Structure 1
Amino acid sequence: MDPVLQKVDEAIILIALRRQRRRQEEERSRRRHRYWVHPMVSHRVSTGYFHNLYSELRIYPNKFSNFTRMSVARFDDLLERLRPRLTRMDTAMRNSISPEERLLVTLRYLATGQSYATLHHYFLLGVTTVSRVVKETCVAIWEELHNVVMPEPTEEIWESVVDTFWEKTQFPNCIGALDGKHIRVRKPPHSGSSYYNYKKYFSVVLLALSDANLKFLLVDVGAYGSQGDARIFRESTFGRRIHAGQLNIPESRPLPCTEEPSLPLVMVADEAFGLAENLMRPYSRYGLNRQQKVYNYRLSRARRVVECAFGVCTAKWRVLLTSIHLDVENAIKVVLACCVLHNYLRDNDNSNVEPEPSQQSQRVQFMDLRSTARVMSIRNQFAAFFESPEGEVSWQNDFV
């Protein structure tokens, strides 16, 4: 081999080895923590949000409510429910984060949707610490509250819901209003189009059944983006339970002020859902007669409560209006925590936020199942009831 070429090869190999060694040293330098505790974080007790604002916020209830989205009394009650799960042990190296601060950080994240980096600068906690605190607290909120404020519906609960719907919306035999929303999430790594929906962004789907008091009776959060809208509801846990008759729905009964026929208790939904025995949707929009128009109007009045429930929930917990930059599992925990907090405050707080239209959480389109003659007959009987003396209300004539 030519000595000159041999020397050139050796020089190239030497340069490559030096570059590789330099990259390894840079990688080790990046991995090496510069501080055991960052100087900013070490001043948390003297300059952090919690230690400077928490006590003062409690003096001014309006400011406290604006910061946490709940009253002082509700915060204290929630804190006592969660305290055993949020308490950590102090060590010789550092003091633990108090349950009060853990809850305040989490509520601020849910209320604003601010990034962990932003909360790090406000509360002077490490970004990783903020992430862990929010995840653990959201899990605690869901597990401690959902059996209290969103229990599994029983026949007694369904009966109460039916009475409230008839009183407030004049829709009979109604056990809830059903709808779904896309909640934006960050694209999961190596997921392809698994979470990509027809709106051209990545999302998980929140399905919810609401009562006439804007409380969620049932919620289901899942990722169905790549399956197509026609299969979302059918393949959700929620949808399977509805069509399998696993929700303890009471037996059919006559409509108010009538003796026959007996009609099933139903959920109301928009035209994106398929018509089923326990699920009523509007007639198609074209070529309607008066009776069908009245039915669509009455159903719309009952169905809008779930839209209002979504509006109230997202107005308080604005993380649902942002793109949640967490992995899907943690994003689902955040959404579930928001839902049970919504119910918790509907039960206990007098200050209710008015619903706002949401541009970020888009409505979901579902399957359009072929309806049987029996199911269509049930819908026709509801429509006939709204035109009868027993079911007619004075204001529906102003609509038609």
Structure 2
Amino acid sequence: MDLIQDNHSDDGFDSDDDDDAFNKVLRKVCKLGGEIIRPPNMDTVATEIVSNSKYYPFFKDCIGAIDGTHVAASIPQNEQIPFRGRKTNTTWNIMCVCSFDMLFTYVMSGWEGSANDSRILQECIKNPENKFPMPKRDQYYLVDSGYSNMPGFLAPFRGQRYHLRDFRERRHRPRGREEVFNYRHSSLRNVIERCFGVLKARFPILKQMPPYPIKTQKYIPIACCTVHNYIRLNDREDDLFNDFSNELMIVEDTHNFSANLQRDIIELDVSRQHLREMARARDDIANQIWATFEG
């Protein structure tokens, strides 16, 4: 599989495409992505965490959020099977990492729509060529229940309510230590959902992909994420970012098919001791939040 990450080289483009204006622009934008899709600053606590008593100091070691999203793929009929989940749509599964300032800090493109989210993360971590920005010791990314709770990746408690829509009505306020933790976790991790909301609202091509060559299609999400970051860095009053600024906003994404795909977790090669350590770290955070929770 020909996978593409944010720090790609120009070599991914066929020389035959060099005379095509679209591919020239696409290549230049992706090259810019190597400069502005950058790993988060792991030496400071995010302002969005420090300034919010719901998250600080509980999530002071959190450096971002991870999730996958599905974008449309235009695939020849005889090659479509790997690109289909339980829906009839053909898609690409794009894994992204974002900061709490709604900037993409890592993008992995090139996986077929049937690919499992945790498998994509596994390959990003295991292959040094992917240059995945691993957290420093005790730091972690927020992930949803489709991933393992393991060192560097903090997942919610399973078997408890998690998604914000589950807590929307007052009578469904979080109850108990694990639900309160899940609610705070979901509220903070919601930044990645809002990033995807901005991305797809701004770039309709991600919802209906033209029949470009497959290799070209793999680069389009990276180009879109690059422009997303450029706008965020240079226009703090952008209307779309303002529209998606509410941390509790529920993003209804009819083009995200991840909920309909296989969500079985692929376990990484992590020792039981390390898994227990991360479980204890999650318990410690949950206990701290619960001790200060006022209901």
TM over 0.5: yes
Residue of structure 1 aligned with 2:43, choices 156, 159, 171: 159
Q: Supply the distance in 2 between the matched residues of 1:167 and 1:269 (Cα, whole angstroms).
A: 22
- Match status 1:387 vs 2:290: yes
Residue of structure 1 aligned with 2:91, choices 203, 218, 234: 203
In the other structure, the counterpart of 2:278 is 375
Note the residue ranges of structure 2 that are not aligned, 5 or more in a row.
1-16, 162-173, 245-250
Q: Provide TM-score, normalisation by structure 1.
A: 0.54
What letter is aligned with 2:198? V
Q: Supply the distance in 1 between the matched residues of 2:134 and 2:117 (Cα, whole angstroms).
A: 26
Pick the structure with greater CA Rg.
1
- Match status 1:305 vs 2:191: yes
In the other structure, the counterpart of 1:276 is 150
Closer, same or farther: CA 286–296 of 1 in aligned 2, 3 Å: closer
Tell whether the 8 Å contact from 2:102 to 2:191 is kept in structure 1 after alignment. yes
Q: Supply the distance in 2 between the matched residues of 1:306 and 1:165 (Cα, whole angstroms).
A: 15
Larger fraction in helix: 1
In the other structure, the counterpart of 2:11 is none
Residue of structure 2 aligned with 1:267, choices 112, 117, 141: 141
Q: Supply the distance in 2 between the matched residues of 1:222 and 1:164 (Cα, whole angstroms).
A: 31
What letter is aligned with 1:362? F
SS of the residue corresponding to residue 82 of structure 2 reads: coil
- Match status 1:362 vs 2:257: yes
Deviations 1:212-254 (A, max 9, x none): 111111111122335x5266324542x4369x99625333xxx
Tell whether the 8 Å contact from 1:183 to 1:360 is kept in structure 2 after alignment. yes
Tell whether the 8 Å contact from 1:195 to 1:204 is kept in structure 2 after alignment. yes
Range moving further from structure 2, 350-359 or 200-209: 350-359
Deviations 1:29-84 (A, max 9, x none): xxxxxxxxxxxxxxxxxxxxxxxxxxxxxxxxxxxxxxxxxxxxxxxxxxxxxxxx
Note the residue ranges of structure 1 that are not aligned, 5 or more in a row.
1-128, 252-263
Q: Supply the distance in 1 between the matched residues of 2:143 and 2:118 (Cα, whole angstroms).
A: 16
Q: Supply the distance in 2 between the matched residues of 1:310 and 1:348 (Cα, whole angstroms).
A: 19
Q: Supply the distance in 2 between the matched residues of 1:245 and 1:332 (Cα, whole angstroms).
A: 18
Residue of structure 2 aligned with 1:135, choices 23, 28, 40: 23
Q: Supply the distance in 2 between the matched residues of 1:141 and 1:225 (Cα, whole angstroms).
A: 24
SS of the residue corresponding to residue 397 of structure 1 reads: coil
In the other structure, the counterpart of 2:227 is 341
- After superposition, residues 1-400 of structure 1 pair within 5 angstroms as 132-143=20-31, 145-151=32-38, 153=39, 157-160=41-44, 162-168=46-52, 170=55, 171-188=59-76, 190-191=78-79, 193-226=81-114, 228-229=115-116, 232-237=119-124, 239-240=125-126, 247=133, 249-251=135-137, 264-286=138-160, 290-349=176-235, 350-353=237-240, 354-355=243-244, 357-363=252-258, 366-369=263-266, 372-388=275-291, 392=292, 397-398=294-295
Deviations 1:101-130 (A, max 9, x none): xxxxxxxxxxxxxxxxxxxxxxxxxxxx9x
Closer, same or farther: CA 202–158 of 1 in aligned 2, 3 Å: same
Tell whether the 8 Å contact from 1:322 to 1:360 is kept in structure 2 after alignment. no
SS of the residue corresponding to residue 208 of structure 1 reads: strand
In the other structure, the counterpart of 2:247 is none
Closer, same or farther: CA 180–234 of 1 in aligned 2, 3 Å: closer
In the other structure, the counterpart of 1:83 is none
Tell whether the 8 Å contact from 2:37 to 2:229 is kept in structure 1 after alignment. yes
Closer, same or farther: CA 245–195 of 1 in aligned 2, 3 Å: closer
Q: Which structure exhibits the higher relative contact order, with contacts defined as CA atoms closer than 8 Å and separated by 6 or more residues?
A: 2
Q: Supply the distance in 2 between the matched residues of 1:231 and 1:214 (Cα, whole angstroms).
A: 22
Range moving further from structure 2, 211-220 or 281-290: 281-290
In the other structure, the counterpart of 2:9 is none
Tell whether the 8 Å contact from 1:188 to 1:328 is kept in structure 2 after alignment. no
Deviations 1:121-162 (A, max 9, x none): xxxxxxxx9x9222221111110x2233212x27xx123454
Tell whether the 8 Å contact from 1:183 to 1:321 is kept in structure 2 after alignment. yes
What letter is aligned with 1:377? R
SS of the residue corresponding to residue 223 of structure 2 reads: helix
**Aligned residue-pair number:** 245
Tell whether the 8 Å contact from 1:215 to 1:343 is kept in structure 2 after alignment. yes
How much identity, in percent, do the aligned residues show? 18
Q: How much does 1:192 deviate?
A: 5.0
Q: How much does 1:367 deviate?
A: 4.5
Q: Supply the distance in 1 between the matched residues of 2:226 and 2:195 (Cα, whole angstroms).
A: 12
Q: Supply the distance in 1 between the matched residues of 2:132 and 2:227 (Cα, whole angstroms).
A: 26
